[in-house]
Chain A
């Protein structure tokens, strides 16, 4: 038996308004920290190299790939994950729209799609189709063919513009 000599360091983050601290090795990625140390498994991981967008979370007010960030890099920051998007029982307009307009099929990419499009609608609630494509180009989906995702985002934008 080799001894576990891994050094652990405390990481404190505020996720969806709740402060968490856990001791982790510095090599722990943020996505693993969120899923395994905090137990918030809504955030998924697929490519692990920053390409697919599935692990998208909001950190310090902007979206990032949690698979190519270390948990220690996030220390002290405010994070929002898919679990923090609904307002209690009331779903976010994007969550409603993805359900109503076929924005997902298998659903694996959906947490990332919602986190990315939420950041878009926060700064531009009335994006054109091209603006949506440009912003969302890093969020891959193997099921929907994208058009229904675009439509869902547009419909959610309408709801947001009307004040929910």
Chain B
């Protein structure tokens, strides 16, 4: 790893002024679980790391009328083990609980998780399904962006702009009668990144599907929301045949990178298979 300077501002204002002083040469560090590995491998060079570790007020989990508000410095393990999260939004509990290992989740933060932009991360497909928003603060103020409005841009590129700090996220609750599931397909080891991942939510009311959402991870350059699924299912009585037809539509969204977890064809086939299983579960066909 190359040399750099490490800054530990104690307020957001100080952090913003460091980020504006050093511009492109600076980068935010939160848990460091993503950044340090990239720096070790010389994938990125940074002259100034601006750490959030001494800034108070960024670690919280609150239940509000708009849903759950979770701080940028809240750890992924805190989300996975929070009673408030589980009560309000079990899909979040399930998803964050699948991230790597206890040890990694204890360091990795929610803000780092939405800023990092690795297409194989667990939280993004679920945040798309739940229509979450990211709060990003710069020296000029704070903006709120829905993750569905293009937050996940490309490999390791997200909506965080230079000088911005993700202070937290807001996650609306799933509809009261919704069933949800997060399926992380792990053919290699239990602590791996997913080969493909499917997050799903479904509501069946009066015998017909009234809401169905599917988010996919590891199948493209970012996590994606499969809007085509609703087109096939909403307004209809759920059946195994319709679920099969709906799952087949996600094939067009898949352009996965072939790697040691499988070829592009294999991953695409698995995305269809696991979408079908997830839909079967959330539409009560099991």
On A, residues with C-beta under 8 Å from B are: 5-7, 9, 25-27, 29, 48-51, 53, 56, 62-65, 68-70, 72-73, 75, 116, 119, 133-135, 137-138
Contacts and interface: CB of A to CB of B under 8 A. Distances in A.
Contacts of B77: 62
Task: Give the interface size class of chain B.
Answer: 20 to 34
B104 interface: yes
Contacts, number: 76
A68 B6 CA distance: 15
Given A9-B6, A50-B100, A116-B102, 13 more contacts: A5-B3, A26-B3, A49-B37, A50-B103, A62-B77, A63-B102, A69-B32, A69-B107, A73-B51, A73-B53, A133-B190, A137-B190, A138-B104
B49 interface: yes
Interface in B149-173: none
Interface of B: 1-6, 8, 29, 32-33, 36-37, 39-40, 49, 51, 53, 77, 100-104, 106-107, 189-191
Given A62-B77, A68-B33, A138 B102 contact: yes
Contacts of A53: 101, 103
A53 B103 CA distance: 8
B139 to A, nearest CB: 24
3 shortest A-B CB distances, which residue pairs? A138-B101, A26-B6, A62-B106
Contact of B191 (A29, A51, A62, A73): A51
A75 B40 CA distance: 20
